[in-house]
Amino acid sequence: MSKAKALPYGCIGFGMMSLRQELKEYGLSPRKKLGQHFLSDRNILDKVIRAAGVNQEDVILEVGPGLGEMTLALAQNAKEVIAVEIDSKLADLLREKVSGLPNVKIILGDILKIDFNSLFRETGRPFKVVANLPYQISTPLLFRFIESKKIFSSFTLMLQREVAERIVASPGEKEYGPLSVFIQIFSDVSILFFIKPSAFFPPPKVESAVVHLVWKEDPLIELKNEKWFKKVVKASFCYRRKTLINALKHSEISLPESIELKMDKLGIDPQRRPGTLTLQEFIRLADALK
């Protein structure tokens, strides 16, 4: 691989050469297996950073930094940037690119296996996550973020449009499911804007969306009930085409004998489909089953 020149602080690299040219210069090509689609539109990059509200006190966690355009831009605005890259060739290239930036750390690793608690102990403060997430890991990674809430303060994420719409979906919509419920129970979330495939190289087959997410000051459920609540929601949606009562009966949850009577008292019709229950109804259902 050709040597990368360390970029001085404040040099972003957009416009100096196209992504296609830069990849060619370093003998690299996007890896389909890793879902690599590099953001090539500087205007979109600037909008994402503004949406994240990055300031000099922030520690940023970036996922999949690619060629480092976002990393370099974030480094100008944040106290520290920790970028996790699974591609060893890109990680080597990035380390050389940021060698003159003391506030940037490149970690070679799989974000789905990274020890968030260890990173948190090193920095001593919650992360803001700013990232262009590979499509195939976005959903499992979001669930990991939920499980480690105390470590993160906010998220500004580029996601596949379909995933973004699942996150904000309302009861009764076909996109509504466990991810919708878990995200909305714990956070305030919104889709900020959509991105055409042409903004990436290589262009993906679908549109993307930028989502902003911050934890609620007062979550709708108590921490001690969180594990059970998640179990009930997942059990309900495992058979989302069935009625709610049948879905629960086919799950591994041990049900009280009077479950239908209890549901009637809660004002929840046992014959409803799981995807029609509101967040509050799922909370009441989980309490009743417990």
pLDDT of residue 9: 34
Taking a C-beta distance cutoff of 8 angstroms, is the pair 204, 197 a contact?
Answer: yes
- Domain membership of residue 283 (yes or no) is yes
Residue matched to tokens 């991105």: 195
155 in the same domain as 53:
yes
Q: How far is CA 233 from the centre of its chain?
A: 20
pLDDT of residue 233: 95
* Domain boundary pick from 215, 248, 280: 215
Q: Per residue in 206-216, pLDDT tens? A: 999 999 999 99
114 in the same domain as 30:
yes
Mean pLDDT of 202-229: 88
> What CATH number is given to the structural domain containing 154?
3.40.50.150
Domains held by the chain: number = 2
274 in the same domain as 193:
no
Looking at 64-68, 164-168, 170-174, which range is the least confident one? 64-68
- Domain membership of residue 3 (yes or no) is no
Percent above pLDDT 70 for the chain: 94
- Residue of 169 and 135 predicted with greater confidence: 169
209 in the same domain as 278:
no
Would you call the peptide bond into 256 cis, given omega within 30 degrees of 0 as the criterion? no
Helix (H) or strand (E) holding 272: none
* Domain boundary pick from 215, 241, 258: 215
Q: Per residue in 123-166, pLDDT tens? A: 999 999 999 988 889 999 999 999 898 899 999 999 999 999 99
Q: Is the dihedral of CA 70, 73, 75, 77 positive or negative?
A: negative
Token pair recorded at residue 154: 């906010």
228 in the same domain as 179:
no
- Angle of helix 178-186 versus helix 138-147 axis, rounded to 10: 40
* Residue type (1 letter), 162: E
> What CATH number is given to the structural domain containing 253?
1.10.8.100
Q: How far is CA 62 from the centre of its chain?
A: 11
The helix, strand and coil proportions of the chain, stated in percent and rounded to the nearest 5, come to: 45, 20, 40
- Residue of 181 and 6 predicted with greater confidence: 181
Average model confidence (pLDDT) across the chain: 88
Mean pLDDT of 58-80: 94
- Domain membership of residue 7 (yes or no) is no
Structural domain containing residue 50: 19-215
Token pair recorded at residue 222: 């108590």
275 in the same domain as 169:
no
pLDDT of residue 16: 37
241 in the same domain as 173:
no
Is 10's pLDDT higher than 50? no
241 in the same domain as 119:
no
Mean pLDDT of 55-64: 96
- Domain membership of residue 119 (yes or no) is yes
199 in the same domain as 257:
no
Q: Model-level pTM?
A: 0.86
- Domain membership of residue 147 (yes or no) is yes
Q: Per residue in 234-280, pLDDT tens? A: 999 998 889 999 999 999 888 888 888 889 888 999 999 999 999 99
Instruction: From 150, 159, 151, 199, select the one nearest 63 (Cα to Cα).
Output: 159
